[in-house]
Amino acid sequence: MDVESSRPLRVLGIDPGTLVVGVGVIELAPRGPQFVACHAIRAPRDAAVPVRLLRIHDALAAWIQRYEPSAIAVERVFVGKSTPSAIRIGEGRGVALLCAARSGSPVFEYPPAEVKRAIAGFGAADKSQMAAWVARLLGLKEAPKPHDAADALAIALTHAHRMHRNRGLGGNLTA
């Protein structure tokens, strides 16, 4: 429980991008993390980058205002084969970090491999495996869709895992 407001701790996870941004919210309960909501924010593909970033900003700000997270977890940029792609993701990440910082909630960043290890137990899990594990950890009947939303929930769960581990309670997400 959040001592200041007597409400459960909520973590909002963000999977950044400039066309699709995954958002997911979990609540930390005594019986383990609980699903609250998830969504994929979609910016118009044919819009100029500044317009897409503004749409993403406005939608993220609305999610943060609606769910009032105790913490916000954002995926770090993974620089793969495409430098232009990494730059675009970085632009979306910048918007996510700005929204998160403006909220006043603490902001945490996790690299993709750490998210995969925390959720699936190994750093090379694919998107389908990750979505299945997210569903299992949150007690959902089916994997969240699209993958961007499932990835955002995985990022939120990674933060919950880290918080749990740092309290000296071991590495089990559902303890």
Residue numbers annotated as active site:
15, 75, 148
Please tell me the number of Cα atoms within 13 Å of 166 on its side-chain side. 6
Q: Give the amino acid at 173.
A: L
In the chain, helix, strand, coil percent, each to 5?
45, 20, 30
Q: Phi and psi for 11 in degrees, rounded to 5?
A: -120, 130
Tokens of 147: 């993958």
For residue 110, the SS3 value is: strand
